[in-house]
Structure 1
Amino acid sequence: MMFTTSTRRTVRRAVAAAAALAGVALVTSGCALTAGSGGDDASSGSGSGGAESIAFVPKQLNNPYTDVVLGGGEEASKAIGYDYSVVGPLEASASSQVTFINTLTQQGTKVIVIAANDPDAVGPALQEARDGGAKIVAFDSDTNPDYRDVFISQVEAKDVALIQIRQMSEQIGGEGDIAILSATANATNQNEWIKYIEEEVDTNPDYAGITIVSKVYGDDDDAKSFQEAQGLLQANPDLKGIISPTTVGIAATARYLSTSEYKGKVALTGLGLPNEMREFVKDGTVTAFALWDPAQLGYVAAYAGQALVDGTITGAEGDTFTAGDLGERTVGADGIVIVGPPTEFDADNIDDYDF
C-alpha cells in the first residue's frame, strides 16, 4: 500500500491551520508547540464526542520525512475515530521532547506515539505518562524498551544496513575510504544501522577494501548537514563515498555534491525521499538509494495505539492486530512490529514513486 500525495499534504495543512488559529505560543528550551487536528479534553484525554486522543511526538517538526509519516498517522487516526494531534520540537536534541510529553500527560492523552531523539532522555517522562494510563507507541527511532509498549520499526535494521553498504560498494568498485553522515548522535535507529554497516565492513570479505574514515552528525538539520558534508570532503581528499542514513542528510549532501567538483567522483547513498532525490538521480549526482513508504509507519502506529487501548494487544511477543488496509501485524520479540521491506530507487524506477 502506497499512500497518496494528497494524504501526505494533509498534515502540513493541519499544522499550518492550527498554528494560525492558536498563534503557536510555547517557547521553552528552543522548542515550539504545534497542534494538529483534534481538540483534547485536558481532564479525560477524550476529545469532541468522547473520542480517545492520540498525539504524535516526532523528532522534530518541519521535516519532510516526518510530514509523510504524520500524514499516515492522521489518516489512520481519523479511520479509527481518534482525536489526532502533533506536538514536538523544532530541533532534534536529546531532551527537547520532554516538555511535550509532560504536557500530554497533564492533558490525559490516551496514546502517545514518539520517535525518540534519545532512548533514555525521554524515559522518566514517558513512565509518568504510562503511570497516568497512557499507552506508549515508539516509531522510527526507539525509546528504551522499558518505557514503551511497542515499537513500530520500518524494516529489519540489519536489512537497511546491508542495502546501504552494498549500494556503496557497487558504486565505488568495492574499495576506498568512505564516511557516514548521520542524524543525531543518540538516534537509536541511525546508530543501529551504522553498527551493522561497521560490522559488515569489519567482517565481510566482500567489503575488505572499504574503510570508514569518519562519522559526523548533521542533527537532521539541512544547513548543518550541508556543512558537515562539505567538511567531510575538505578533511578527506581521498574520500570515495558518503553514506547518509537520514533523509535530511542525504538531500543536503546531494545538493552540495551536485554543484561541486566532487560530482561524479564521490558516491552518495543512504535513505532518501524519491521526490527530494529525483533531480540528483537524473543529473548523475546519485546513482541509487533506498527507503520504505514512511506514511505506513504513522499508519501502523495509530492502529497499534488503538489495539493497546482496546486490550487487543499488550505488546507481548505473538500478539496480533489489524492495521486497517495494511492488514494483520504481529508483535515480535522485544515488542517490535515490522512495517515492511525497503525499496531501492535509481534512474529506472524513481519516477514510479511520489512521496
Structure 2
Amino acid sequence: MMLRTAARRRTAATVAAVCTLAVALTACSGTTKDSAAKDSGNAGGAATAKADPDAPLKKGLKLAFLPKQVNNPYEKIVDEAGIAAAEEYGGTGKEVGPSDAGASSQVSYINTLVQQRQDAILIAANDPNAVCGPLRQAMAKGIKVVAYDSDTAKDCRQLFINQAGSEEIGRGLVRNLGKQLNHRGKIAILSATQNATNQNTWISFMKEELKLPEYRDMKLVKVAYGDDDDQKSFQQTQGLLQAYPDLKGIISPTTVGIAAAARYLSDSAYRGKVVLNGLGTPNQMRTYVKDGTVAQFSLWNPEELGYLGSYAAAALASGQITGAEGERFTAGRLGEYTVGKDGEVILGKPTVFDKNNIDTFDF
C-alpha cells in the first residue's frame, strides 16, 4: 500500500514538472502548431501576432502568384516582376491560375497551394467573397495571404497592395475624359467582370464624380462587361456604339478592355469621333496613340506593383509586419512603405500617358 502511494506521488510530481515546463511554452493549453497558426491567421493575423521590424527576411521563402487569369498580359507583367523580386531576397516564386476570370475559378488553385504549404499566396481576386473560404484555411495554417490589383473581403487576407488610391483612380478617369469632351455628351464604361472588386470600386467613384455640377451635361448610359476577354470586350465596344450611335466617350478601366476597344475604334467610322480613355500599358496602346485613336490613358508601373507585392509578402512571412495599420517595411529598391487602414499598401499615383511621353516607357 505504501509502495503504491509513493508511486502515485512520484507520478504526480513528474506530471507537475512536465506541466511547469509546458506553461513556459504553451500555458498547458494543448496548443498545436495548427491551432497557433490559426490564431495568427485570425482577422488577418494582426490581432494576435507581434511584428518584429528588425527581423531579417527569411531565406528560401516560397511565394505563389494567383492572377485573375494566366493569359492576361498585364498580370503577367505583375507576376513576373514579383517572381524576380523573390530571387533578390533568396526566395522562389511561381505563377499559377485559371485561363478564365470566373468568380470561383481560383478556388481549386488556392486549395492546391495550401496543400503545397506555400509561405505566401498573392492573389488578384476575381470575386471578393468566392475565394474567402480557402484563403481563410490558408491563413489558419500559417500561410500569409496578400491581395494585389483586385482585393478580397478584408478578413480573407493580411494585406492588399493597391496600385493607387481607388478614389483617385475612379475620379481621375472621369476628370480626364470630362476635359477631353468639354464636359458634354453621353459616355459608357467598359469594365472587366461584374464581380471584380477593383473595377466596381473605381466605377462607384466614377459615378460619384459624375454627380458634381460640372458634369451635368455628361450622362453615363451604360456599364458593359467584357470579362477581361479580348474578343468579348471587342464585341461589347461594337454593341455600345450600335446601341448609342451618339456616344461621345468610353472609359475602360481594364487593360484588356481598353486595348480591345481601341482596336475596334481604329478600324471604324467612330475613330476620332469617340474619345477612349482608361487604364492600359504603353506597349499595348502605343500604336493607337500614334495613329490618333487614343489621345491619353493612365496606369501605374505594373512591374513595381508585383515587386512591392513580393516584398510585402516576404515581410509578412518573416514577421517584420503583421498587416496592422502603421507598420512599416522596406520594399527593396522602392524604399519604405507604410501599412494603411484595413491592411492597404498603396504603390503610388498613376501616370498619364500620351504621344509626348509614351516612347519613354517599355512595359
Q: Give matches, 1:50-65, under 5 Å.
A: 51-65=60-74
Q: Give matches, 1:43-192, under 5 Å.
A: 51-192=60-201
Counterpart Cα distance in 2 of 1:75 and 1:209? 48
Structure 1 segments of 4+ aligned residues over 3 angstroms from their partners: none
Q: 1:151 touches 1:337 (CA, 8 Å); kept in 2?
A: yes
Counterpart Cα distance in 2 of 1:163 and 1:288? 12
SS of the residue 1:186 aligns to:
coil
Alignment counterpart, residue 246 of structure 1, candidates 249, 254, 258: 254
Q: 1:163 touches 1:290 (CA, 8 Å); kept in 2?
A: no
Q: CA deviation at 1:219?
A: 0.6
CA offsets, 1:281-333, max 9 Å, x none?
A: 11111111100001111111111111111111000000000000000010000
SS of the residue 2:126 aligns to:
coil
CA offsets, 1:124-148, max 9 Å, x none?
A: 0101111111000000000001000
CA offsets, 1:45-94, max 9 Å, x none?
A: xxxxx822100000001211011101210121111111211110001110
Residue identity over aligned pairs, in percent, reads 57
Counterpart Cα distance in 2 of 1:342 and 1:207? 23
Q: Aligned residue for 2:240?
A: 232
Q: Aligned residue for 2:360?
A: 352
Give 2:304's aligned amino acid.
Answer: Q
SS of the residue 2:65 aligns to:
strand
Q: 2:83 touches 2:92 (CA, 8 Å); kept in 1?
A: no
Q: Aligned residue for 1:315?
A: 323
Q: 2:258 touches 2:277 (CA, 8 Å); kept in 1?
A: yes
Counterpart Cα distance in 1 of 2:242 and 2:127? 30
Q: Aligned residue for 1:201?
A: 210
Q: 1:322 touches 1:329 (CA, 8 Å); kept in 2?
A: yes
SS of the residue 1:178 aligns to:
strand
1:305 to 2:304 alignment:
no
Give 1:140's aligned amino acid.
Answer: D
SS of the residue 1:113 aligns to:
strand
The Cα RMSD (Å) is 1.1
Tell me the TM-score normalised to structure 2 length.
Answer: 0.83
Q: Aligned residue for 1:273?
A: 281
Give 2:258's aligned amino acid.
Answer: I
Tell me the TM-score normalised to structure 1 length.
Answer: 0.85
CA offsets, 1:23-66, max 9 Å, x none?
A: xxxxxxxxxxxxxxxxxxxxxxxxxxx82210000000121101
Q: 1:152 touches 1:338 (CA, 8 Å); kept in 2?
A: yes
Q: CA deviation at 1:347?
A: 1.0
Q: CA deviation at 1:162?
A: 2.2
Counterpart Cα distance in 1 of 2:61 and 2:295? 46
Which consecutive unaligned segments of at least 5 residues does structure 2 have? 1-58
Counterpart Cα distance in 1 of 2:84 and 2:92? 11
Moved more, 168-177 or 96-105: 168-177
Larger Rg: 2
SS of the residue 2:314 aligns to:
helix
